[in-house]
């Protein structure tokens, strides 16, 4: 099997419109959760989110492109441009023929759905734009990315709710590791911050009206966010031959299904995914220094995740730093695992652990080192990224410092 490294990274989210800005926000513990701004927000009981307020699509895309790109696709392409530019790769010939795209998204073009439902049912229009279907479909972002960069290899979209990005990156990793392609572009994106998108989540009664406080005793729910993160996964020797800058190594992954409940998480399913990912990566529990938690800020998720970590790591669990950056950028749903991988890069490459902000009081059922409120310097050799989705679908990635 081939070794797989990351040679390019890009992101846009509520705390940064590129990797550098995002990392600086992680270091500062800056919160990107604020008042939502869109039509009819006053009709919602949930009025906060990790929204990208200063994003101006017409500065990045022309009118024809905007007619084809839902907001989640726009965010994907901006993040992809940064990642591919950093990688230094130019896709032509055999490299273009073999390189593909695997992306994660839970909802695809949710704002396009919302706009067009309004047009038909609220405004009484009898026609919609002919590009509505290609604009809203879940594979639109992956397709447009492949077309923009001439990527003709295996290209598809994974949609597994909040684990979509981690599942997608795991598939891209496996494609490179198994020598099907020397390079894959992967990650995920989501933009559900519109009236219908927030209203649907509001109905679940798992949302906070004031803040996301993962692991804190007074946590009262999750907060939605939006954003994208894209990475270039490359076979190690291929990267070395061209003198690429290597960010970190992807060591292994695992996936599991709780097969238990459509919304309530399972400690056993989460623990199985973590344990199997470490086994796949051939990493001992004592060697893991940082976990980027799923950490949604709900009562059930956080205590279940902490219990799973304790089961897998035993006595070493007390020595691991575990933080949830959702406290800063919100829960980006299908794109969240990708954006959170940037925090793993920060830990491995720069030796800085992103904090869990908004933390106020220890919960006895979450009694781990959750890096409360302030970033911390630490040497980390191995980091893992957890994603545990509705439907009981779990995906965990293991990364190593280079």
Which residues, at least 6 apart from 319, have a Cβ–Cβ distance to it below 8 Å?
369
315 is catalytic: no
Which residues, at least 6 apart from 51, have a Cβ–Cβ distance to it below 8 Å?
14, 34, 36, 37, 193, 225, 226
Give the helix/strand (H/E) hosting 240: helix 236-241
Within 236-381, strands assigned E span 248-257, 288-292, 321-323, 352-353, 376-377
- Produce one character per residue of 358-375: b if its CB has 16 or more CB atoms within 10 Å, e if not: bbeeebeebebbbbbeeb
238 is catalytic: no
Query: Which one of 294, 306, 329, 366 is the catalytic residue?
Result: 294
Tokens of 67: 């007619």
DSSP 3-state of 301: helix
Query: Which one of 162, 194, 248, 366 is the catalytic residue?
Result: 162
Within 146-278, strands assigned E span 155-158, 183-190, 227-235, 248-257
DSSP 3-state of 16: strand
144 is catalytic: no
Query: Which one of 144, 167, 329, 331 is the catalytic residue?
Result: 331
Cα–Cα distance measured from residue 56 to residue 371, given in angstroms and rounded to the nearest whole number: 34
Q: Answer for the pair 102, 184: CB distance below 8 angstroms, yes or no.
A: yes
Give the helix/strand (H/E) hosting 104: strand 100-104
Give the helix/strand (H/E) hosting 65: helix 63-68
Q: Answer for the pair 72, 113: CB distance below 8 angstroms, yes or no.
A: no
Cα–Cα distance measured from residue 10 to residue 20, given in angstroms and rounded to the nearest whole number: 9
Give the residue numbers annotated as catalytic, written as ranges. 162, 294, 331
């Amino acid at each position: 099997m081939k070794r797989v490294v990351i040679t390019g990274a890009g992101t846009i989210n509520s705390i940064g419109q590129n990797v550098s800005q995002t990392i600086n926000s992680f270091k500062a513990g800056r919160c990107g959760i604020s008042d939502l701004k869109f039509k009819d927000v006053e009709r919602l009981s949930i009025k906060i989110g990790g929204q990208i307020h200063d994003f101006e699509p017409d500065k990045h895309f022309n009118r024809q492109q905007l007619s084809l790109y839902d907001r989640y696709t726009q965010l994907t392409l901006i993040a992809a441009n940064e990642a591919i530019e950093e990688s230094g790769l130019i896709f032509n010939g055999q490299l273009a023929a073999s390189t593909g795209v695997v992306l994660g998204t839970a909802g695809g073009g949710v704002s396009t759905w919302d706009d067009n439902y309004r047009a038909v049912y609220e405004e009484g229009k009898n026609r919609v734009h002919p590009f509505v279907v290609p604009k809203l479909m879940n594979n639109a972002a992956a397709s447009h990315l492949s077309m923009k960069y001439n990527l003709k290899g295996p290209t598809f979209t994974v949609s597994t709710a909040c684990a979509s990005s981690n599942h997608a990156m795991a598939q891209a990793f496996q494609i490179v590791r198994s020598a099907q392609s020397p390079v894959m572009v992967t990650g995920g994106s989501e933009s559900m911050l519109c009236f219908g998108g927030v209203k649907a989540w509001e109905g679940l009664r798992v949302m906070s009206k004031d803040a996301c406080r993962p692991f804190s005793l007074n946590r009262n729910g999750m907060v939605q966010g939006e954003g994208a993160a894209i990475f270039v996964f490359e076979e190690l020797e291929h990267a070395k031959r061209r003198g690429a800058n290597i960010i970190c190594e992807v060591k292994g992954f695992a996936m599991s299904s709780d097969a238990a409940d459509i919304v309530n998480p399972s400690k056993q399913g989460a623990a199985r995914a973590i344990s199997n990912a470490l086994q796949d990566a051939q990493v001992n529990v004592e060697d893991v220094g940082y976990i980027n938690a799923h950490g949604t800020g709900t009562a059930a998720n956080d205590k279940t995740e902490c219990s799973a970590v304790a089961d897998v790591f035993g006595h070493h669990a007390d020595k691991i730093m575990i933080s949830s950056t959702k406290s800063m950028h919100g829960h980006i749903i299908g794109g969240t695992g990708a954006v959170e991988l940037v925090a793993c890069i920060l830990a491995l490459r720069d030796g800085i652990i992103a904090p869990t902000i908004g933390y106020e009081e220890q919960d006895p059922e979450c009694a781990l080192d959750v890096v409360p409120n302030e970033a911390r310097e630490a040497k980390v050799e191995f980091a893992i990224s957890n994603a545990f989705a509705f439907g009981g679908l779990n995906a965990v990635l293991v990364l190593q410092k280079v």
